[in-house]
């Protein structure tokens, strides 16, 4: 495994654990010990996937992106060659991932509404929220990290004289 792959794997694992734990904490803050947990309605279970998803997308891209950028600037990490679909700009990358995560949260919340149940048992609701938070971090953190590593690499035309492009 290359140094970059190991870095992405390690930082992604940290993000998964942190986002799973934060999902637990915020579930407790929002729903406490309310049993059963209501599914439909503003502020209830299905709706709560929207802010949860947005914040995981935002934080699972922003924090590792800032840490990676700092390591690249200090020379503790070498930039990675290659291309990525995500923008090199950290704010743009964070915005795109957070909005994509919000969309995912809307789909998951909508699926809960379509199941038609009125409520969900506390343990089941909590377990699903933690697993969802960890899974979303697993999906969004690695591409964000790979984009951060590539954003630190010189562009392909950096070695050409000024005014000349490939």
Domain assignment present for 88: yes
Pick the closest to residue 137 from 63, 68, 27 (CA basis): 63
Query: Containing domain of residue 75, as a range?
Result: 3-151
Domain assignment present for 68: yes
Domain assignment present for 159: no
Domain assignment present for 158: no
Give Cβ neighbours of residue 165 (< 8 Å, ≥ 6 apart).
157
Domain assignment present for 66: yes
Q: How many CA atoms lie within 13 A of 141 on its CB side?
A: 27
Cα–Cα distance measured from residue 64 to residue 77, given in angstroms and rounded to the nearest whole number: 13
Give the chain's length: 166
Q: How many domains is the chain built from?
A: 1
**pLDDT string in tens for the chain (166-residue length):** 579 999 999 999 999 999 999 999 999 999 999 999 999 999 999 999 999 999 999 999 999 999 999 999 999 999 998 888 999 999 999 999 999 999 999 999 999 999 989 999 999 999 999 999 999 999 999 999 999 999 876 554 344 344 444 3
Q: Report pLDDT for 2.
A: 72
Domain assignment present for 67: yes
Domain assignment present for 157: no
Domain assignment present for 138: yes
Residue 111 three-state SS: helix
Residue 38 sits at φ, ψ, to 5 deg, of: -70, 140
Q: Report pLDDT for 156.
A: 40
């Amino acid at each position: 495994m290359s140094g970059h792959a190991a870095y992405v794997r390690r930082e992604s694992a940290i993000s998964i654990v942190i986002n799973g734990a934060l999902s637990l904490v915020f579930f407790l803050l929002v729903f406490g010990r309310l049993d059963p947990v209501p599914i439909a309605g503003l502020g209830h279970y299905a709706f709560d996937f929207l802010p949860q998803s947005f914040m995981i997308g935002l934080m699972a891209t922003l924090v590792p992106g800032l840490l990676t950028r700092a390591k690249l600037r200090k020379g503790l990490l070498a930039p990675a060659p290659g291309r990525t679909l995500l923008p090199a700009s950290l704010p743009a990358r964070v915005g795109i991932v957070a909005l994509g995560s919000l969309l995912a949260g809307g789909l998951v919340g909508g699926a809960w509404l379509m199941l038609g149940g009125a409520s969900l048992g506390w343990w089941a609701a909590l377990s699903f929220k933690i697993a969802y938070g960890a899974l979303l971090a697993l999906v969004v953190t690695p591409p964000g990290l790979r984009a951060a590593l590539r954003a630190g690499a010189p562009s392909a035309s950096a070695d050409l004289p000024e005014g000349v492009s490939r």
